[in-house]
A = this chain, B = another copy of it.
Amino acid sequence: MRVVVPFAPERPKTRLAPVLDEAERVAFARAMLDDTLSALSTLDRERGVSVDPLVLSTAPLDCDAPVVVDDRSLTEAVNDHVPADDGDAPVAVVMADLALATPDALGRLFEPEADVVIAPGRGGGTNAVVVRAPEFRVDYHGASVRDHREIAREAGLSVAHVDSFRLATDVDEPADLVEVVLHGTGAAAAWLHDAGFSVVTADGRVDIERNSG
């Protein structure tokens, strides 16, 4: 299945600015993309899921997958790639900042046979979606998980959900780094470790700390 991975290589992850400078945010975002592509590649090689990745980038980029550059909004750019006609092949869209995604977690996306398969993100997002019907269009603005259910319902399409903490965890804010340090297994977790981040607890609350040494 074609798997579209939207990515913004320039000025990524601005909400991480309190803990990472711009060059670090670029490197960390890139590590998360590499983890996603690596997990998809493992699915294809080892799990019998045929995956044909395509990075949909807002700027030119070198990486381990074909790249299409499209600097329009996320919604517009993605909608150029989902099925438009009855004969079109299914397409998956997987965000590039799912730093906990593993081949097992991503593989669950491809199990349900529904017209639309949604992996909700925290805070109302849609972190991954499989689209098998040309009547469906993505709309990433606002509480997209609600809008995507509604778009499918209005078109009479079947919807399945993937209940995954790993796929629900997109990394936008400093608090999200706690999850990467505790549960990450790839390049993004290694990058944070090398940058001196660890998890600390104070008064029973869990937080991220950076070793300045």
Contacts and interface: CB of A to CB of B under 8 A. Distances in A.
Interface of A: 104-105, 120, 122-125, 141-143, 145-146, 163-168, 175, 178-179, 182-183, 199, 201, 204, 206
Closest 5 CB pairs of A and B: A142-B201, A165-B168, A124-B206, A143-B206, A165-B165
Contact of A199 (B141, B146, B163, B206): B146
Contacts of A175: 123
Interface of A is mostly: helix
Each complex incorporates copies of this chain amounting to 2
Given A123-B178, A124-B182, A182-B146, A204 B141 contact: yes
A179 B143 CA distance: 11
A182 B50 CA distance: 32
A122 B141 CA distance: 24
Contacts of A123: 175, 178-179, 206
